[in-house]
Structure 1
Amino acid sequence: MLIASAALLTALVYYAALCALRPFAPCRKCAGLGTIERSGKPRMCPRCHNDKLRLRLGRRAFNAWLRTRQAGTRPTPKGL
């Protein structure tokens, strides 16, 4: 049980560091090419819109948490 918990914690720390250092990953639909083939013709990828990259799920969740936290936090007074 201890080994499994340590392995899970290590994987979470690794993914968090990956999301912080490299927030973008290659698009899964087009494999980072920006185009896919439909009916034998190359078309723009509908998922990444030819950007070739996508925001990682962990980074997207972190950004949403930051927006929620900033929206709910009172601004500090300027006189202090």
Structure 2
Amino acid sequence: MTPIALAVACLLAVTLGYVAVCAGSPFGTCRKCNGFGFATTTDRKGRPKRGKHCRRCKGRGKRIRIGRWLYNRASRIYREGTR
């Protein structure tokens, strides 16, 4: 097997794996707040306390995956174009 064919096979496996993840679990944890939905800060004594709501996930702790967002956008464009 040539190195190019091996690279293509690995890339195909990674792509199909990501498609399966996006189909099975379209929402992932927010990378900014680590799924808490808010920023953690510390008070003057050094104890952790709840901070402001996360602006990326709007306080939900979950964000839509990029692959799922692209799929939703493509299917919406196709559906509106074939009416």
- Normalising by structure 2, we get a TM-score of 0.82
Q: How does 1:48-63 map to 2 (within 5 A)?
A: 48-63=57-72
Instruction: Find the aligned partners of 1:46 and 1:64 in 2 and give their Cα distance.
Output: 22
1:2-54 deviations in Å (ceiling 9; x for gaps):
11100000000000010000000000100101111468661111111111100
- What percentage of residue pairs aligned between the two structures are identical? 38
SS of 2:12's equivalent in the other structure is: helix
Match of 2:75 among 47, 60, 66: 66
Distance 1:31 1:24 in 2: 13
Match for 1:25 among 23, 28, 53? 28
Q: Which runs of 5 or more structure 2 residues have no equivalent in the other structure?
A: 44-49
Superposition misfits of 4+ residues, deviation over 4 angstroms: 38-41
Unaligned regions of 5+ residues in structure 1, if any?
75-80
